[in-house]
Amino acid sequence: MTRRTPPAGSDAAALDALPDGIMLLDEGGRVLLINAPAAEMLGLSRDAATGESFARLAERSAADLAEMLELVESGRKAEVIVTTGDGRALMASLRQIDGDGAGGARMLVQLRDLAVLDHERDRVRAKESRRSFRFLSQQKLRPDMSHQRRLSPALDRLLTLGERSMAQQARVLLTGESGVGKTEIARHLHVSVSNPNAPFVHVNCGSIPETLFESEMFGYERGSFTGALQSGRKGMIEAADGGTLFLDEVGEIPLAMQAKLLKFLESSTIQRIGGVSEHSVKVRVISATNRDLEAMVKRGEFRRDLFYRLAVVPLFVRPLRDSPELFDDLVDYLVAVTNQQRVAPMSIAKDCRERLRRYAFPGNIRELHNIIQQLSVITDGVAEVRHLPEAVVTAGMTAAAAGVSDDLAGVDLKDMVRAYERRLIDKAIAKHGSKRKAAEALGVDIGTIVRKTQVPQ
């Protein structure tokens, strides 16, 4: 992720070089300073986070900050484990800093990625030459688009058209199912035309309450409403000045706010809440949605003029099931990423890979990543078919059964029987309320039920 370079002389500029996340809170729990790694670990915009109360950040962050919020409010020195939105574990250290007479006591928060610490310890001890492991603030799923476009002519055409659009300042609308990688494509398009310091501001339009949408997007002047910061605050559009504004889930923008966004797109100017003057903002705009905007236009749920402003160049991103040429590359990449967090590497058996290949992946690349992570937890070394989630095994059997009269290749009878037994057992347990009652209903002993429900799915 491209980071915004803070103003010269800012304390945060030096702290951005650290791998750890750093936050400084005032006596009332408001954020005085947050470095880029901390903002990225918590899934926040640094500009939006600065000056906010920690309680507000806890509501907006994808990480679970409930326990940490209690410690901040009580002002206690402590260490606590924080779980991020993608399941990683952070150790948060909270320390009080005495006031200097000019203000009250402050609190310093340090965030460390435990997986990174474990990996670095193992790397130093073993002195192995491994692929460089990036810190959590950089550890995003970044598929190699240059390699993937060589594998997929369809992806190459999409990226080529997107790059040409960005070079000509034409707005791009990415459409496609959830989890197909629209965000990664948007980042690639941004990098293709931007300098390294240009901001990439990712706005999840579906996560912003309607009452806060205008202030989050356009910012506000000091004293414009109760609770406003005395210094005022720039909005996300202004934060993207000189770079790219990525409007994700654009179909979720409230109808009342669409007119305000349209005005910005038509004039390239914004006016903060409480402000009396407009000023221009130069940004490239990429939007994305998994909804049918044209159908929403017909139903009156999305403005037609806004649709045409956003969809100058519409690009459809194919689902994973329609991109079989990318499957092996994505699996190999995700396994490599997962292995960076393991002492002993994991591999995937041939029959397991083939069973995955036959699965439709309704959740697309995001679901594939989730399954690879599950396999990493369940297996000690080689992931086999028996380790796969039941939904994947069952789907593979259903597909095989549909063509059983023509081709029995790849059908494993033991897998089919095991999955069928497990479904019957699970239904019996759900119906009767316990494994013992389920055993009685199915006419088997309790030991059979216990043994069969302990088999990894």
Average pLDDT along the chain = 82
* 73 backbone dihedrals φ, ψ, rounded to 5°: -70, -30
Percent of the chain topping pLDDT 70: 82
pLDDT of res. 137: 36
Structure tokens at 429: 């347990």
Return all residues near 326 (Cβ < 8 A) that are at least 6 apart: 148, 151, 152, 155, 320
User: Which is more confident, 306 or 101?
Assistant: 306
- Residues 117-131 have a mean pLDDT of 54
pLDDT of residue 329: 92
Which pLDDT tens digit goes with each residue over 417-451?
A: 777 777 788 788 877 777 888 888 888 888 788 77
CB contact at 8 A, 250 and 287: yes
For position 139, what pLDDT does the model report? 45
Q: Please report which confidence band the pLDDT of residue 292 belongs to, taking 50, 70 and 90 as the band edges.
A: very high
Tell me the pLDDT tens digit for each residue of 130-180.
Answer: 444 444 334 444 678 888 999 999 999 999 999 999 999 999 999 999 999
Question: Which CA distances in Å does 441 have to 319, 417, 419, 423, 428?
Answer: 42, 19, 19, 14, 7
Chain mean position to CA 211: 24
Which pLDDT score, from 0 to 100, does residue 445 have? Answer: 81
pLDDT score recorded for residue 155: 93
Contact 372, 331 (CB under 8 A): yes
Q: Looking at residue 446, what is its pLDDT?
A: 82
